[in-house]
Every structure is written in structure tokens, then in C-alpha cells.
Amino acid sequence: MSEKQQPYILQTVDLTKSFGRQTAVNMVSLNILPGEFVSIIGPNGAGKTTFFNLITGAFKPDSGIIYFKGRDITKAKEFNRVQMGMARCFQITNVFPHISVLENVRLAVQAKSKHKYRLFINADKLKELTEYAHYCLEIVQLKNMAYQMAISLTHADQRKLEIAIQLASQGELMLLDEPTAGMSAEEVPAIVEVIKDIRKKEQKTIVMVEHKLNMVLSLSDHIAVMNYGMLIAYGSPREIKENQDVQSAYLGRKGDA
């Protein structure tokens, strides 16, 4: 993979993906700086999920380039991207239900460490891994549930656990795919607080696909708006709210925004 000198942690250049005759992502270029929080929004069928899957490596683009930390990763496998420092949270919870909350996170910490293939770990190393796992659980407000079975958690708490697993992988780029999917209005604020706490304590770069507009506006440094596979707007939350194209495509009339 070739190197490209640039300030961006993530860059897409003219990224395009079609399924049959339908172009899901059409020449999308996006530049994200380290430490930024960028949300991707758009109406259903806009192409945002496909674009997200291109970033993670779940889909391969028909054309265009993806750079991560200056490296061309366009052809890299998903697991290679994780090894490079990408961490993804899926729409559907992806945890081991029949082990404890703590063990879920500790396994992720161990997988990132040089001890991931060892059956036996010395006591000092195990203590170190466990302490970091507890730290991740504290950030997502699950420390008091560390020894519960993951299957016993509510849906919202399972989402928090998955975010803790992301943290445990110590990736520089967190990719959040609708982190509040399936949650009630009462459960959403807790996830928002968790994400804010991660930004405050970890200074991660975060890219999020999310439908809840108030959440996007409150968290994001910049917002990318897609429609019909194209990037139609990119800017601060205020700029996006005032953008006429966005109002037409996603927010409704100006008086409704």
C-alpha cells in the first residue's frame, strides 16, 4: 500500500459503488482530520450506509481511493483495517451473550495485545488487561455491571457494551453505525453522554451514521449530507441546518428544520 502525505486521518477520493444499474455511492470525496466528529446523514436510500461499508471494507468500491492515516487502503480487508486502527460499532449488537460484560471487553483488550494467541497469561498481564477493561466499562457507564452476563443487559446497555469493546480495541478511528438503533427516546440521552465522554477522555476521531437529527447536531463538528448517492453538503451543524439543498432533501421546509 502506497503512502500519501496529508493531514487527514481518513480521506475518500471520488468513491463510487454501484449495484447493477443503481449507483449507490457516486464520486464521494470526504476529508476528515484527526480528532474530528463527522456524522453522515441523508434520507433512506441516500447511500450513506453503503459509503460507510466502503470505509470499513465490507464493500469494495468500483472506483475511487480510500486513505487511512496516509495509506491507500482501498483494497485492504476488513480485519486489516481493524489492525490499522479502525473500530466499528454495528447497527445490531455484536457481543458474546453468554459470558460476562467484563469478559467481553477483556477479550477485546487481549485481542489487541501481543498476548492474543496465548492460552495462559501471567498474573501481572492479566491484571493490566482487566484494569483497562474496567476503565472502558467506566467510560460507557457499565462498570457496576461488569460481572453480569451480557445476555442480561437491556438493548441500550448492550449497545454501550459494544462501544466499550470498540474502545478496548484502541483504534484511532471509531465508526458508529446508528448507535441508537432500536432505542426508545428515553434511552438515547445516555448513549449521547457516553459518546461525549469518549470524546472528552479519549480524543478519538469518530465517524457516525445516524438518523436522529438532534443527536447529530449536538455531537458533530461537521456533517456530511448524502442524497441519491452523492454528497450534497458538508459543513458545521449550523451551516447544514441553513443549507437549502439539505432542507429540501432531508430536513423539510426551512420552517420545519
**What's the confidence (pLDDT) of residue 88?**
82
Position 111 confidence tier, pLDDT thresholds 50, 70, 90: confident
- The average pLDDT across 147-158 equals 95
Cα atoms in the 13 Å half-sphere on the side-chain side of 222: 15
Position 253 confidence tier, pLDDT thresholds 50, 70, 90: very low
**What's the confidence (pLDDT) of residue 1?**
44
- The average pLDDT across 134-138 equals 96
Whether residue 2 is predicted with pLDDT greater than 80 in this model: the reply is: no
Dihedral sign, Cα of residue 207, residue 213, residue 216, residue 217:
positive
Cell of 95: 457481543
Write down all domains in the chain, each with its CATH number in brackets: 6-84+211-256 (3.40.50.300)
**What's the confidence (pLDDT) of residue 256?**
33
Whether residue 50 is predicted with pLDDT greater than 50 in this model: the reply is: yes
- The average pLDDT across 150-164 equals 95
Query: Is residue 11 helix, strand or coil?
Result: strand
Cell of 168: 478496548
Question: In this structure, are residues 163 and 104 in contact, taking their beta carbons and an 8 Å threshold?
Answer: no
Position 123 confidence tier, pLDDT thresholds 50, 70, 90: low
**What's the confidence (pLDDT) of residue 151?**
96
CA–CA separation, 71 and 1 (whole Å): 6
Whether residue 64 is predicted with pLDDT greater than 80 in this model: the reply is: yes
The secondary element (H helix, E strand) that includes residue 252 is none
Nearest in space to 209 (alpha carbons), one of 73, 39, 8, 60: 39
Which residues in 141-237 belong to E strands, given as ranges?
173-177, 205-209, 222-227, 230-235
**What's the confidence (pLDDT) of residue 193?**
95
Position 117 confidence tier, pLDDT thresholds 50, 70, 90: very low
Highest mean pLDDT among 25-39, 125-139, 156-170, 204-218: 25-39
Cα atoms in the 13 Å half-sphere on the side-chain side of 237: 12
Question: In this structure, are residues 14 and 65 in contact, taking their beta carbons and an 8 Å threshold?
Answer: yes
Count of Cβ atoms closer than 10 Å to residue 87 Cβ: 24
Q: What is the mean pLDDT of the chain?
A: 89
Q: In this predicted structure, which of 73-82, 144-153, 241-250 has the lowest mean pLDDT? A: 241-250
Partners of 223 in the β-ladder: 39, 235
First to last CA, the chain: 43
CA–CA separation, 111 and 73 (whole Å): 22
Question: In this structure, are residues 78 and 58 in contact, taking their beta carbons and an 8 Å threshold?
Answer: yes
Whether residue 90 is predicted with pLDDT greater than 90 in this model: the reply is: no
Question: In this structure, are residues 230 and 28 in contact, taking their beta carbons and an 8 Å threshold?
Answer: yes
- The average pLDDT across 118-132 equals 73
Q: How buried is 256 (Cβ within 10 angstroms: 0-12 exposed, 13-18 middle, 19+ buried)?
A: exposed
Highest mean pLDDT among 81-95, 107-121, 207-221: 207-221
Q: In this predicted structure, which of 113-122, 205-214, 232-241 has the lowest mean pLDDT? A: 113-122
Rg (CA), the chain: 19
- The average pLDDT across 8-22 equals 97
Whether residue 9 is predicted with pLDDT greater than 80 in this model: the reply is: yes
- The average pLDDT across 130-144 equals 96
